[in-house]
Every structure is written in structure tokens, then in C-alpha cells.
Chains A and B, each alone.
Chain A
Amino acid sequence: MRRKKLTLRRASDHFFTYLALIVMSAVFLFPCLWLILASLSKTGSLYDFKGFFPQAFSFQTFIDLFSDDVNGLYPYKTWFFNTLYVSSVSCILGTILVLLTGYVMSRFRFKGRDTIKKTTLILGMFPGFMGMTAVYIIMTQLGLINRLESLIFLYAATTPVGYMVQKGYFDSIPNTIFEAARLDGATNLEIFTKITLPLSKPMIVYTVLTQFAWPWSDVLLPKLLLKERDTWTVAVGLFNLPETHFARFAAGSVFIAIPIVILYFCLVKYIVNGLTAGSVKG
């Protein structure tokens, strides 16, 4: 009797667990599926849909995306490589800077450390774009408008403000390792490059990944600094597409989302690690 009750309870638990899982998956999957469907629409206009479904399907939009830039208005291929360039370089530079900052802030005690800590906390709270006017003028003075380097500098240079995650990770490396190395006569630089970095692979992967993904979704800064369509990033380009080119938007989105999604799937372990590092160890 008791056993039966138990199995019944377990069965209902199973049922609701899986129901919840299915609902959750549907909520997350559905909008993505819709975008994929839209990217395969034949006429390309949002107003030609019957509900979620385009009236006719075709792969043409994907072909057009790369072969037909509508007289230079929507050069997707260029945008794609621009973004790739910006995210690769800025993620390398940014990762180096933020790892250094996180490491120093975690391992060293020095005059001014508290000032840096508080300043970065405060900097993080300012509404970012309020500095946009200033950034624009600085870039005009440096002659970097319409240059992808302006974005690279900006992204890389401002990364260290968010060093807390990296610091959290370095905090979790037992101090004894460093002390042992110190006794062996290793310099701080050697400790950083030969001991810390190899131990921080998960953190590095996480940092690189988040740094790499950001330029693919930022619209405001590239819009401010890049005037020429040929210098735009994918995000600005897609954002500027009119409603009549909805399929193009969808196809362009799907195309950049696929590699990022694959990357995330492969590296999900590191992401969990990185995200957890931002919190306190118990």
C-alpha cells in the first residue's frame, strides 16, 4: 500500500518534472525556430506571413545575403568579416588586460588598491552611453572614425572595469601554490605566466568567449563610430534593415547565431565555471 502510494507520487513527480522541462524548452526554442522559418521566407516581407509561417519557402535569402548587397546598401559579407576582425582582436587584447587586472587585484596588496576597487565599482554604475559624445569627439581627434580600430580600442580598453569575475576565479586558486613557487625563486611574472595561466584555462576560455561574443550584439557604439556602411558590424547592419527586408534580417541573424551557438555548446562547461567565479566561494 505504502509502496503504491510512493510510486504514484513518483509518477506524478515525473510527469510534472518533464512537463516543466518541455514547457521550458518550448519557450526557448520557439522564437529561434520562428527566426529560422522567417529566414526561409520567399518574399522576405514580414507582412506576407500566415501567422508564424511564411507563405512560400526558399533558400534565396541566404544566397542573396552574400551575393546581392542591394547596390551596396546591405553588404553582409563585409559586415561579417568586420565583426570577426573586431571581435578577434578586441577579445585578445581585452582578455590580456582583464586577466592582468584580475590577477593583480587578487594577489597583490598595494597602495591605491582600494581606490581602484572603489573607482571601478563606481564606473560600472554610470549609464555607459552618457560618455558617448565624449567618445565620439575623442575618436574624431584620433582620426579613428570609420575605422574598426576605434571599436577595438574601446572594447579592449574598457574591459578591465569588469575584472571582478576574473579576480573571483584567481581568489579560488590556493595560495600555497604561489608560496611554493615563490620559495623556488620564481618572479611574479613567471608565477603569472607559468603557474597561474595554465591553471586558469576555464577562466580564459570564458573570458575569451564573452569578449568575442559582445561585438556581435553591440549596436550603439558601432553606430556612433562607424558611418560608412562598408565599415559597419553585423549588429548595426541588421538593426538598420527596414521591415520589408525582414527575411534578410532573419537570415543574417541565423547565420551569425549558428557559430556562436555551436561555440557555446562546446564550451558550456567553461561558461558555468566562469559565471560561478563571479560569486563567492562557500
Chain B
Amino acid sequence: MTKKKPFFKELSGSPWQVKLSCAVMGLGQLCYGQIVKGLFYLGSLAVVVLYFVKRGFTDFIGFFTLGTQEENLWLGIKGDNSLTMLILGLFSIFILIFTAVLYVSNVKDAMFTARQKAEGKKVHMLRDTLATAADDKFHVTALTFPILGVTIFSVLPIVFMILIAFTDLGGSVVYPKLANWSFSAWSKILSLGQIGGTFAKILGWNVLWAVLSTVLNFVLGLGMALLLNKRNVKGSKFWRAFPVLAYAIPGFITMVGFKFMFSQSGPINYYLDAAGKMRIFFLTNDASAKWWARGIGLFVNAWISTPSIMLMTTGLLSNINTDLYEAADLDGASAFTQFRKITLPYIIFATTPVLIGQFVGNFNNFGIFFFLRGGVISNYADYFLASDTDLLINWLYKLSVDNNYYSIGAAISLVIFLITAAVSLSVYVRSAAFKEEDTYQ
């Protein structure tokens, strides 16, 4: 193997075909006789150029201006839509980056062929290219579609959201009004006491919720697994069926069902009433419902999540080497000591990544209070556009989707993201799971 030369040095000493590829994507390949590949590059270039001529360039400019002509619907004056322009502009930038990547790969490919030729080897034809794609470059081939899909439907929207935080979109600035790039969302968050106060209160509850529900689900799930795993339990498959039943039912059905169950006219209150007790404001928007609703949220979340934790820990428990327990039995260790010294350390070690995932999932658990307390805004005086049970993500939804405060919602979600990412990444990087990964193989 020859030592690889620096890219530009090699480029300057390349034959004319490579330089042709530098000038027009695919031409070099065509000259080397790689018809299909050359046409592919050339075709891609044509599509990109056509796109930019037709609309890409306008979209690109629109990304910076966010619209210059305001639409007047009554007078029928056509105009710009800032929101659409932002995303289409972003899209054109993505296309630009994608084209650049493709261009570099085209030059590199031409250089590779040049090297092959210089070394007197056969020039790769279509069949060879396909073979490489299936073998040496399998990882590239396999990841193309996943990365493409994730980029369009996951990365693009998230970048869009981050950008929104730096515009003045939202409130009264919505279509057909035009938006501008601005830091107004951030200054509003800092200057308006209401937002800061609500943020602090919700964040406190959100952290409490994430910790409580993660611990509760884990403890209950593990407890259930241990219970079913007990040597004296007969028919554990039968007993296991009940949690599996809960696991299988779509989550939103469970949540709406529980909402009805705890409603003012629901069965629980009916029996309280029949027993001569006062009805309890479980989920109603009364101040006293605050902790009831939070408790019910924890319970329902546990009802939905513990079965999966139970199943997972069941699987892990069966992985533990039984020799360990037998040795411990011989040493006369009690069942509890065995659990503490053998089972628990292993389970915790094995489930750290899952637990982090659970924590992040619980922290951003949108569904639970959306379904349980949808449409309820309680404790209005203390919370700005939020309920006292809302998690940050529910508040964000109310801000940005229900009330169109796009930029403020986006700015707050950036802050939340920074918090969760910092916490969970630092835990994750320190966890054994992460360290093991790189020593693997």
C-alpha cells in the first residue's frame, strides 16, 4: 500500500480526467469509461442545478430575508410566508451541503481511479462498484437511507426549531405578517418575570417527576420480576400475563381510561360518594387537585411502564450465572444478602443505559398529563399558560402549538435540551456501558 498523500497535493498532480471531474461532476468518470457512475454524478448535478435555477436560489435568499412582500389576503396581493421560507431556505442549504459532499466524493472517486490506472490495475466498472458497495463499502451503502431519512425528518425539523428561537415569529407575528431574525425571544424570557417564575416552578416539578417516576418504575418492575422469579411461584407464566396485558394495550387508551375513572363522575368518586365520603378533586382544575393529579400521574405512568421493566429484568435475571447463587447458598448467605451482593449490582450495571433512556423519556413524557388532564389549566395565577401538573414539554406545547408563541417556545426548549443533554451525556459517558463499548472487539 502506498502512503496516502495529502488531498490537494495529490489533486494537483492528477491527470486531466480528475481535473475534469473537479470542473463538472461526473465528466472524469465518463472519460474513464465508467458510464453509469458518470451519468449518475452528472445527472445529480443536473438535478441540483435545475433545482437551484427553478427555486433553490430564491429559497436560499428567502432564508435570510424571511420574506419581503407581505401578503394581503383581502386585496388579493400575493406575498411571502416567513415560516415556509425559513424551512425551504434551510432545505436549500441542506441540498447545498449534500451537493458539496457528493462533489468531493466525485473528485475522490476520480482520484481513486487515477491511482488504479497509475498502478496498472483495472478501472472499476459498474459491477465492481456494486461489489464494493456490497462489501468494502457496505457500511456506507447500508447507512445511506437511514441517514437520509433521519436528516430530512428528524435533523431538519430540529435545526428549524433551533433557528426559530432566533426569530421574532409568534404572538402577533404570524402569517401573513412577516418575521425577522431577532433575539427578542431571549430578551423576553429574561425580562418577563412570569415566564421565568413559571419556568422555575415547572422545572422543579419536572426534575422531581423524572427522578420519582424512574425510580418508582424501576423498583416496581424489578420487584415484580423478582416476585415472578421466586422459586416457590407456580405458574409464573400465568401471573406474568397480567402485566403483559397492560404492556400490550396502547398507552393512550390506558391514559384516557384512567382519566374517566378518576373524573368527577367516574367510578372512584361514585363509590366515595356512596360510602358517604366527600368526592375528591382528582384531576379537576381545583387547587387541591395538584398533588392528587401528580400522584395519579405517577401511578398511571408506572402502570404503563413497569411491565416492560419487569420483562427486561426477567430476561437479565435468567442471564445471571446460577453458580453464583449456589456458591452463596453454600456460604450460608441469606436471600437478601444474595440479592444485595449479586443480583442488584448486576442489574444496575446492565440497565444503566436503559435507565438513562427512561429518565430522559420520563423527563420529556408528553403524553401522561396531556391525556390525563387535557384541557385543564389549573392554578392559573401561579403558572403562565400552564397547569401545576404540566411538565416542561406540556408547557412548551401550550406555548408553541396552542398559543403560537413559536420563538419563545423554541428558545425554552433549547434551554431544556441543554439541561437534559448535559445531565444525561455526562452520566452516560461515565457509565460502564459507554466505556465498555470502545474496548469491545
| Direct A–B touching, Cβ under 8 Å | yes
Residues of chain A touching chain B, judged by Cβ–Cβ distance below 8 Å, are: 10, 13-14, 17, 20-21, 24-25, 27-29, 31-32, 34-35, 46-47, 49-52, 97-98, 100-101, 103-104, 108-110, 116, 119-135, 137-138, 141, 153-154, 156-158, 160-161, 163-164, 171, 175, 187-190, 192, 213, 216-217, 219-220, 235, 238-239, 243, 246, 249-250, 253, 256-257, 260-261, 263-265, 268, 271-273, 275-276, 278-282
> Shortest CB–CB separation between residue A89 and chain B, in angstroms?
14
Sorted nearest first, the 3 A-B pairs with minimum C-beta distance are A131-B157, A157-B149, A217-B250
* A243 partner residues in chain B, CB cutoff 8 A: 260
A276/B315 contact (C-beta < 8 A), A129-B397, A256-B250 known: yes
Please tell me if B20 contacts chain A, counting CB pairs below 8 Å.
Answer: no
Q: Convert B400-441 into 0s and 1s, putting 1 for each residue whose CB lies closer than 8 angstroms to a CB of A.
A: 110000100110010011001100110010001100100011
A153/B153 contact (C-beta < 8 A), A17-B233, A280-B433 known: yes
Please tell me if B366 contacts chain A, counting CB pairs below 8 Å.
Answer: yes
Q: Is the CB of B227 within 8 A of A24?
A: yes
Q: Is the CB of B149 within 8 A of A130?
A: no
Q: Is the CB of B245 within 8 A of A28?
A: yes
Segment among B62-70, B108-116, B346-354 that sits at the interface with chain A: B346-354
Q: Which of B149, B253, B364, B440 contacts A156 (CB 8 A)?
A: B149
* A219 partner residues in chain B, CB cutoff 8 A: 252
Q: Please, which residue of chain A has its CB at the minimum distance from the CB of B142?
A: A100
Q: Is the CB of A127 within 8 A of B393?
A: yes
> Shortest CB–CB separation between residue A112 and chain B, in angstroms?
9
Q: Is the CB of A125 within 8 A of B420?
A: yes
A220 CA to B350 CA in the complex, in Å? 33
A151 CA to B158 CA in the complex, in Å? 18
Please tell me if B381 contacts chain A, counting CB pairs below 8 Å.
Answer: no
A131/B158 contact (C-beta < 8 A), A29-B242, A157-B150, A264-B248 known: yes
Tell me how many residue pairs across A and B have CB atoms closer than 8 Å. 280
Q: Please, which residue of chain B has its CB at the minimum distance from the CB of A210?
A: B308
* B271 partner residues in chain A, CB cutoff 8 A: 51
Q: Is the CB of A157 within 8 A of B257?
A: no
> Shortest CB–CB separation between residue B239 and chain A, in angstroms?
5
* B266 partner residues in chain A, CB cutoff 8 A: 46
A171 CA to B438 CA in the complex, in Å? 12
Please tell me if B244 contacts chain A, counting CB pairs below 8 Å.
Answer: yes
A46 CA to B257 CA in the complex, in Å? 11
A130/B134 contact (C-beta < 8 A), A281-B350, A282-B320 known: no
CB-defined A-B contacts under 8 Å, sample of 19: A24-B224, A32-B245, A50-B270, A97-B146, A103-B142, A104-B139, A108-B138, A123-B154, A125-B364, A131-B157, A134-B161, A135-B153, A156-B149, A261-B245, A263-B248, A268-B240, A268-B311, A278-B354, A280-B349
Q: Please, which residue of chain B has its CB at the minimum distance from the CB of A264?
A: B248
* A32 partner residues in chain B, CB cutoff 8 A: 245-246, 249
* A189 partner residues in chain B, CB cutoff 8 A: 134-135, 138
> Shortest CB–CB separation between residue B249 and chain A, in angstroms?
5
